[in-house]
Amino acid sequence: MFTPKMGEKDNFVVREKNGKSPLASFQAQTSIDLDLTPVKTIPSHFSQVYDASEYDFRAVFGWEDDPGRRNFAIGKPIDMDVPVCIDLDRFVERSNGIFGKSGTGKSFLARLLLSGIISKQVAVNLIFDMHSEYGWEAVCEGKSFATAKGLRQLFPGQVIVYTLDPESTKRRGIRDAQELYLGFNQIEVEDLNLVKRELNLSEASLDSALLLRNHFGDNWIVQLLEMSNLDIEEFCKENNGSKTSIAALQRKLNRLTGLKYLRNFSGHNYINQILESLDAGKHVVVEFGSQSNLISYMLATNMITRRIHHAYVRKADRFLQSKNPGDRPRPLVITIEEAHRFLDPSIASQTIFGTIAREMRKYFVTLLVVDQRPSGIDKEVMSQIGTRITALLNDEKDIEAIFTGVSGGGNLRSVLAKLDSKQQALILGHAVPMPVVVQTRPYDQTFYREIGETAWSDLPDEALFAAAAEALEDLGF
């Protein structure tokens, strides 16, 4: 008999009074009711404990092939060869986060989870790929010339790549990527509000933007950029505007003309095209290529997300009215990197991402945030993060932020601080019955074979053409 201590590597479970493990009791079909609810307390001192067996772990975390459940093995306990599963249905019910300092493998963890969502058909994904790591392939850190497959390679029939930088996409050999352009006529003042700090826009500048929008309509930015000093002066006289403020707004918005994906006018609505792909059950990766600077990433991500969320609100309202299962929207998971930029306390209440995080799937849309500075995310938003998958963090503020809104989280701080820098993570929250440290599942050739769909490289040429034709047909071409 001994007292378990938090932070010890040995796994333990409390046995029933008859000395049997929960699974043994279940297999014996005794009258004991095994209602496995999430663990909220630590066993008291001098509780009788035993080393957890493979069956104990599987009784608590389930199997990947459990009937009626869509579980996904994300890794194994330290020093044990038994899978730890996440309940993907519960995972997509709320917004979730992947956290860890730079170099701890956050992108690989995200690809693991996204692969699970795709293979189990739990939801559709919209992934804003800031560093072009999720769509086609990514370089493995620390391994010369080694690359990891992206989602398009693993699921050629289910994933579509849109690119904001076609030249970069072609240089990297990505096949069948769809070009994506946005127009100045599609930018709303609310889109600029998210990047006002990056563009150094004052509240007076945003008020001037509203004045211009009300006067010129959708083409207000193009009109502003073409105005001379005399034009600005005349406009201010006629509309009671501030010449200084409008001139400053013109100067700052002129920085947007260097973004490759922006056109003065976009006749084709690419955002609707993305929405049609999602409605068809396809998973969408929007990659940025050389357009991955912060202003570019935040502007495009905000523009696309706001409009897709509005479309999902309309779909959800229609479903609630009709109660027709056919009107039920497909659950959507939106993946963003550098999440603290979108969910900073000063702007989180005003951005679409803060709204989605607080809604808790009210409109069938959730976030998967990937970030190395969780302390930069608004506390109210962090408290709504359902499942947190956290690799090594060193900063005390970041560690404290991980346990925001978590009962008894302080007892796990030492566990988080002792993780290895590679392939270890602490998982806690809505999708697992209890906090657990895992050695994360390798994202390698074995995983590629296990994930289910025939890889792109293994498809015959005819199948490649068929997959491309199917993707074009889904888009209405």
- pLDDT tens figures, 381-438: 998 999 999 999 988 999 999 988 777 677 788 888 888 888 899 999 999 998 999 9
Question: Quick one: which of 95, 147, 111 has its CA closest to 343?
Answer: 95
What's the token pair of residue 58? 């599987």
> Do 373 and 352 touch, CB atoms closer than 8 A?
no
The owner of tokens 């947007």 is 256
* Residue 442 pLDDT > 70: yes
- pLDDT at 144 (0 to 100): 55
pLDDT band per the 50, 70, 90 thresholds, residue 142 = low
User: Which DSSP string do the residues of 234-265 spell out, in sequence order?
Assistant: HHHHHHT--HHHHHHHHHHHGGGGG-TTEES-
pLDDT band per the 50, 70, 90 thresholds, residue 30 = very low
Q: What is the pLDDT of residues 291-300, one digit of tens each?
A: 888 899 999 9
User: How far is Cα 120 from Cα 87, in angstroms, rounded to an integer?
Assistant: 11
Tell me the pLDDT of the chain averaged across its residues: 85
User: How far is Cα 113 from Cα 135, in angstroms, rounded to an integer?
Assistant: 14
159-163 vs 387-390, strand pairing mode:
unpaired
What's the token pair of residue 339? 């999440």
The owner of tokens 């071409």 is 477
pLDDT band per the 50, 70, 90 thresholds, residue 468 = low
- Least confident interval from 49-63, 133-147, 302-316, 434-448: 133-147
pLDDT band per the 50, 70, 90 thresholds, residue 366 = very high
- pLDDT at 387 (0 to 100): 95
> Mean pLDDT over residues 243-261, rounded?
94
What's the token pair of residue 129? 């790929």
CA distances from 123 to 24, 98, 146, 247, 310 (A): 35, 18, 30, 46, 18
Q: Which residues contact 166 (CB under 8 A, 6 or more apart)?
A: 177, 179
pLDDT band per the 50, 70, 90 thresholds, residue 466 = low
Q: Exposed/middle/buried for 308, CB within 10 Å: 0-12, 13-18, 19+?
A: buried
β-partners of residue 51 are 12
Question: What's CA 317's distance to the chain center, in Å?
Answer: 24
Q: Which residues contact 149 (CB under 8 A, 6 or more apart)?
A: 137, 448, 455
> Mean pLDDT over residues 22-44, rounded?
51
The owner of tokens 């932020």 is 401
Phi, psi of 382 (to 5 degrees): -60, -35
β-partners of residue 452 are none
Looking at the chain, the whole-number percentage of residues with pLDDT higher than 70 is: 84
User: How far is Cα 158 from Cα 137, in angstroms, rounded to an integer?
Assistant: 16
Per the model's pLDDT, the better-predicted residue between 102 and 19 turns out to be: 102
Amino acid (one-letter) located at 467: A
> Mean pLDDT over residues 173-179, rounded?
86
> Do 132 and 287 touch, CB atoms closer than 8 A?
yes
- pLDDT at 139 (0 to 100): 80
Question: Quick one: which of 341, 426, 417, 406 has its CA closest to 376?
Answer: 341
> Do 126 and 281 touch, CB atoms closer than 8 A?
no
* Greatest mean pLDDT among 61-65, 89-93, 265-269: 89-93
Cα atoms found within 13 Å of the Cα of residue 445, Cβ hemisphere only: 3
Amino acid (one-letter) located at 178: Q
CA angle 143, 146, 147 (to 5 degrees): 125
- pLDDT at 34 (0 to 100): 45
May I ask the CATH architecture of the domain 88-181+268-474? 3-Layer(aba) Sandwich (3.40)
* Residue 371 pLDDT > 90: yes
Per the model's pLDDT, the better-predicted residue between 26 and 374 turns out to be: 374
- pLDDT at 24 (0 to 100): 43
pLDDT band per the 50, 70, 90 thresholds, residue 80 = confident
User: Which DSSP string do the residues of 68-118 spell out, in sequence order?
Assistant: T--EEEEEEETT--S-EEEEHHHHTTS-EEEE--TTS-HHHHHHHHHHHHH
- pLDDT at 474 (0 to 100): 55
- pLDDT at 21 (0 to 100): 44
User: How far is Cα 64 from Cα 172, in angstroms, rounded to an integer?
Assistant: 35
* Residue 37 pLDDT > 70: no
